[in-house]
Structure 1
Amino acid sequence: MARGRPSKKAHIVEVACELFTKQGYQSTSIDQVVSAAAVSKPTVYSNFPTKLVLWETALSSLTERAQEEMNSVSSQLNLAKESNFIPGWIALWSAWVGKTERLASYRILMGEQHKMAPSTFALFVEFEAVLESALSEWITEFPVSPMTFFALKAISKEALLMPALLNQTMMEKGELGHQLTNLMASVSPSNC
């Protein structure tokens, strides 16, 4: 393999990620991956014996990318010395829901659960742990109880993630900020 040139396996995974993101799991076939990646069917099958194995490898790749991207967002927030909890929290959630490939991963898991193996669900837990880790790291600088953390996540999920998944209008960041600020104000300091 030439230096700097991606392996065929990595190329196949990248192409599969794009197809799964655009078309979903059900509508993406191995033949489409073969065609889009410009490789032979035996090459795909020698690396990925089933479409599920290919999807799981793609999900692992998407998780690695998400980790890099969320680390970058966290670093930018920390470098900017963002000391206000709510804008940083919203920035992390916005970065998470702002990627089509992440939304596609949720849709695939929700819509194709019956075709997934236990290993797929374990990989999805790792995928979601990327967001959880970024949020947990962000709150370390602020006095937030576990119960408040849970409530903040639930509100943010309903305001941003669920509408994005359903192609609905997300709550405006200003309104979300207001809702989260109200939640934080309603929590007594002793519960923080």
Structure 2
Amino acid sequence: MVYELRSHKPLRDETQGKPLSRLTAEARKEQLLRIACETFAEQGFHGSSMEEIAEAAGVTKPVIYQHFSSKRALYLELLGAVDDELSARLLSATAEATTGRERVERGFAEYFRFAADSPASFRILFGASVRN
């Protein structure tokens, strides 16, 4: 569950301005978390707005508030999800290690792989944008 926006597919029919399809509540929440990850990583918590996230998702702010009670709640859920993802990857990478050295090497390799694979998620956890 890494939250990276690899491509910005249109969420609306450009010719008629209608939503392309209605997402399930779970899919909408995942979409909002992906967009929030990119937004918070680029602009920091204080530099980001719910309006901006809603616009990027092609929804109104009330739709976001159906899933998250506040910007802080959205941010905290995102932090938890990204932390869970990194923790799962580290545990998986080190599970078969037989020595302490091997565990450290595998752990660091996976940590840097996570940073390369998921730069926005990495910045959410460890970047300067978190302090903004």
After TM superposition, the score normalised by the length of structure 2 is 0.62
Contact 1:96 1:102 in 2 (8 A): no
- How far residue 54 of structure 1 moved from its aligned partner, in angstroms, is 0.9
From 62, 75, 82, the equivalent of 1:55 is: 75
Cα deviation digits, residues 55-81 of structure 1 (max 9, x gap): 011112112212332232124xx1xxx
The aligned length equals 106
Q: Does 1:64 align with 2:64?
A: no
Q: Distance in 2 between matches of 1:74 and 1:39?
A: 41
Aligned match of 1:73: 93
Tell me which protein shows more helix as a share of its residues.
1
Segments of 5+ residues of structure 2 without an aligned counterpart are 1-21
Q: Distance in 2 between matches of 1:57 and 1:72?
A: 22
Higher normalized contact order (CA 8 Å, seq sep 6+, divided by chain length): 2
Aligned match of 1:164: none
**Identical counterparts, % of pairs:** 18
- How far residue 84 of structure 1 moved from its aligned partner, in angstroms, is 4.4
Q: Distance in 1 between matches of 2:122 and 2:99?
A: 26
- How far residue 2 of structure 1 moved from its aligned partner, in angstroms, is 7.4
Which structure 1 residue ranges, 4+ long, deviate > 4 Å from structure 2? none
What SS does the aligned partner of 2:45 have? coil
After TM superposition, the score normalised by the length of structure 1 is 0.45
Paired letter, 2:49: S
Task: Say which is worse superposed, 95-104 or 28-37, in terms of deviation.
Answer: 95-104
What SS does the aligned partner of 2:55 have? helix
Aligned match of 1:86: 101
Provide the alpha-carbon RMSD of the alignment: 2.9
- How far residue 94 of structure 1 moved from its aligned partner, in angstroms, is 3.6
Segments of 5+ residues of structure 1 without an aligned counterpart are 113-192
Aligned match of 2:12: none
